[in-house]
Homo-oligomer: A and B are copies of this chain.
Amino acid sequence: MHTLNVELGTRSYPILIDAGLLGLPGVLDAQVAARDVLIVSNTTVAPLYLSAVSAALQPRRLLPVILPDGEAHKTLVNLSRVLDVLIANRFGRDCAVLALGGGVVGDLAGFAAASYQRGVALVQVPTTLLAQVDSAVGGKTGVNHPGGKNLIGAFHQPDAVVIDTHTLSTLPARELRAGLAEVIKYGLICDAALFTWLEAHLDSLLAGDAAALAHVIRRSCEIKAAIVGRDEREHGERALLNLGHTFGHALEAATAYKEWLHGEAVGAGLVMAAAMSQASGFLSAADAARVRQLVERAGLPAHAASVSPQLLLEHMRIDKKVQGGRIRLVLLRAIGSAFISDDYPQRALQGTLAAYCGDAR
């Protein structure tokens, strides 16, 4: 078992990574101090892994809440459903919420844990590549609003993140590709060697090679844990993790969270961020091309045909990264070197949107 730590003083917590962890006696059990546990999952994941998780947590009082699957269900209404179950069953402040699923389940269950009784324990058991490499780590929780992605939420760190890489064996190919977008992101912002490794091993990853997947999960968690440990509340460096996300969140919101998986939107967002960086004179054409090629090889869309440039821009303006009216973007100087700026040519943004959105291909 591989163990990493997110170092946050008294709120530090472990990330456990290995194949088969959910079936290993004592592992999950040791990470859950509570006697009463609400397990939040969805209709896709629960039939696959709820029984294993429940068995691992015996003899606690366990209650499941099974949500519909998909980003469109990460809403205040479903948050309220989870809270209703906690309250109706009189769960005390010493209970725990366990998130079993992908990013939607983790974000929503995490926000429920953050806001129930002003904060109860949370354990993340991510079952998608995207959640394992990104969303389950770092304490960002929340729900979407028709007006924008993750606009309502809280920072609430888990007590533990338990990653059973075996769960990827049941992950649909589309979801696997979506998760790779976040892995590519880590390479782009701070690890050129990881990016090069991805270029060399992408086919193994897409084929579901367990060793290759384990490698990128570990490296992604290492990078994220280090950044979160230095900047939990995103006052500085952590914002680099939003590379591609201002474009991506806007794509998701503009299509009512129904068309794109989050990782797919991030993939397109990475290509747009690279194109923007090139058009602004920060990034070489060769590096921008490498970004686009890797994203496309990963089977991720680089173009948003159904969204007009104008609509995307409108949604970018209500994303969380807007300050003082200007859209702050994470841009690239090189592969492995990102920075944050709101000082770029507006025509670079307009040109990028025109090139990658709508029918103007």
A-side interface residues toward B, CB under 8 Å? 35, 76, 80, 83-84, 87-88, 90, 92-94, 111, 114-119, 140, 142, 145, 147-148, 150-155, 233, 317-318, 320-325
- Contact check, A92 vs B154: say whether CB atoms are below 8 A apart: no
User: Which residue from B115, B116, B155, B321 sits with its C-beta under 8 Å from A119?
Assistant: B155
**Bound form: Cα–Cα A152–B79 in Å:** 11
User: Which residue from B84, B111, B140, B317 sits with its C-beta under 8 Å from A90?
Assistant: B317
- Contact check, A92 vs B322: say whether CB atoms are below 8 A apart: yes
Min CB distance A78 to B, Å, is 12
**Bound form: Cα–Cα A155–B154 in Å:** 10
User: Which residue from B90, B94, B154, B320 sits with its C-beta under 8 Å from A154?
Assistant: B154
Contact of A147 with B76 at beta-carbon distance under 8 Å, contacts A92-B322, A92-B323, A118-B142 already known: no
- Contact check, B153 vs A118: say whether CB atoms are below 8 A apart: yes
**Bound form: Cα–Cα A354–B233 in Å:** 49
**Bound form: Cα–Cα A320–B120 in Å:** 11
Closest to A147 in B: B87
Min CB distance A263 to B, Å, is 21
For A119, list chain B residues within 8 Å (CB): 154-155, 233
Count chain B CB atoms within 10 A of each CB in A147, A152, A325 and give the residue with the most: A152
- Contact check, B155 vs A118: say whether CB atoms are below 8 A apart: yes
- Contact check, A117 vs B151: say whether CB atoms are below 8 A apart: yes
User: Which residue from B76, B87, B322 sits with its C-beta under 8 Å from A148?
Assistant: B87
- Contact check, B151 vs A87: say whether CB atoms are below 8 A apart: yes
**Bound form: Cα–Cα A322–B92 in Å:** 6
For A94, list chain B residues within 8 Å (CB): 323-324
**Bound form: Cα–Cα A153–B116 in Å:** 6
For A320, list chain B residues within 8 Å (CB): 92-93, 117-118
For A317, list chain B residues within 8 Å (CB): 90
Listed from nearest, the 8 A-B pairs whose CB atoms lie closest are: A87-B147, A117-B320, A92-B322, A118-B153, A90-B318, A94-B323, A115-B152, A87-B145
**Bound form: Cα–Cα A88–B145 in Å:** 10
For A148, list chain B residues within 8 Å (CB): 87
- Contact check, B152 vs A90: say whether CB atoms are below 8 A apart: no
Closest to A86 in B: B151
